[in-house]
Amino acid sequence: MKCRVCGNDAVINLKAYNNALCARDFIAFLENRVLKTIQRYRLIDKDEKPLVAVSGGKDSLSLWYILNRLGFASDGVYIDLSIEGYSSLSLDKVKTMADRIQRRVFIFHLMETLGKGIDKLSRVIKRSTCSACGMIKRYIMNRVCMDRGYNVIITGHNLDDEASALLGNILYWKDEYLWKKGLELKESEGHLSKKVKPLFLCSEREMAAYAILNSIDYIRDECPFSIDAKSLVYKDILNRIEESSPGTKLQFIKGYLKVSRAMKTQRRKDNLDYCAVCGYPASGGICSFCRIMERFGIEGDIRFDEYKPEGLPT
Amino acid sequence: MIVELDGKKITVDRAPTVLRLMEELSINREAYLVIVNDRLVTEDHRLNKDDSVKLIKVVSGG
Ligand code: SF4
Ligand SMILES: [Zn+2]
Ligand SMILES: [Zn+2]
């Protein structure tokens, strides 16, 4: 198969776009799509200071790399959940990328703050591991943004993540979540940072190809708690549909965007309450995170480590 | 021929192309990338018996 742009050997066939591309042209094609997504949906303004949530996986590391190449200078935040055999390895990958792009990364160690890893913590607070993990991550990402003067959190959710989550929400008609998804979560002055997902229209396969072609060393192992994640079943089903009808995932998400924008203008009545301790959105006085801190008798502020590549000015 | 599937080496009947190899292993083309002799390739790529073939899963959970 030949590259449609230059005629050299193609490295990837993109059926959804009826296109085949060589390494160089694919990299340009994908970076351009990310840039267009950011511009078209106004995800990051030029005067904003973005912070990328990096996990060590292909999506967030590639995104961090792309943003800095596109001129959106961004630092990273990594949340260490103390998952054995997984967290330290993924942190190494994050640091390698930090060195490569010469950006700093803030690191939150759950173990240092709460004296527990995510599996123990989730048992104590009687939540599933993934639900506890999600809660901690959302809180910490927001907190570091607020504390360190950043104003937009960027996450690496890709097309497949979004399509599978949407499918799950539709299958069970989870009305309360269904219309909340989207490219952007709005900020709430002094409480909540804006949150955006510039890879919304990039598939997992494209992101893995991008990482491989740019020699981005990402963690291939899965988080051990993801084994029975329902999202894997949904992703598999969507990929089977995609194989027989290329472009379906894109249509699914683009269609959703259109409809949800109309829905959003109708809603907007959810008046938020804020945590009395830290100011984070909360229902009922104190937010979930501060409640955990209180329960374990932990006082004082939470701490972030800062990893700074050598040669970076202070 | 020997191919590496998700980091594990397995022996399969020799397939003439990447596409046929994926079909024989019932592998979804959206869920995997194929690397032959350290290069990413498209499905029509022809395989030789001494090629080093790696099938890499791109789907992640959580
Ligand atoms: S799979 Fe692992 S990283 Fe993902 S939400 Fe669950 S615990 Fe967190
Ligand atoms: Zn080309
Ligand atoms: Zn709070």
The topology under which CATH files domain B2-57 is: Ubiquitin-like (UB roll) (3.10.20)
ipTM of the complex: 0.97
Is residue A35 in a domain? no
CATH number at residue A77: 3.40.50.620
User: Contact A110/A116 with Cβ under 8 angstroms?
Assistant: yes
Q: Is the pLDDT of residue A265 over 90?
A: no
Are the beta carbons of A249 and A242 closer than 8 angstroms?
yes
Residue A228 has pLDDT above 70, yes or no: no
Q: Note the pLDDT of residue B20.
A: 97
Domain count, chain A: 1
Q: Residue A12 is nearest to which of B42, B59, B61, comparing CB atoms?
A: B42
Whether residue A243 and residue B41 make contact (CB cut-off 8 A), yes or no, is no
Dist CA A30 CA A159 (whole Å): 13
Give percent of chain A above pLDDT 90: 78
As a whole number of angstroms, the distance between CA A11 and CA A184 comes to 32
Residue ranges per domain, chain B?
2-57
* Residue showing tokens 């961004």: A74
Distance A164 CA to ligand 1 centre (A): 16
In a domain? residue A32: no
Task: Supply the DSSP symbol for B45.
Answer: -
**Best to test chain B binding among A79, A160, A162, A205 (most B CBs inside 10 Å):** A205
pLDDT of residue A123: 94
pLDDT tens, A151-208?
999 999 999 999 999 999 999 998 777 777 777 788 888 888 999 999 999 999 999 9
Cα(B34) to centroid(ligand 2), Å: 19
**A232/chain B closest Cα distance in angstroms:** 5
What domain range is A259 assigned to? 48-220+229-307
Q: Give the separation between CA B41 and CA B28, rounded to whole angstroms.
A: 15
A229–B61 CB contact, under 8 Å = yes
| pLDDT tier, A266 (very low <50, low <70, confident <90, very high otherwise) | low
Residue A11 covered by a domain: no
Asked if residue A42 is part of any domain, the answer here is no
Q: Is residue A7 part of a domain?
A: no
Q: Is A134 in the pocket of ligand 1 (CB under 6 A)?
A: yes
Q: Return the pLDDT at A69.
A: 97
The predicted pLDDT at position A270 comes to: 57
- At residue A300, the 3 state secondary structure works out as coil
SS3 A1: coil
* Mean pLDDT, rounded, for A250-273: 78
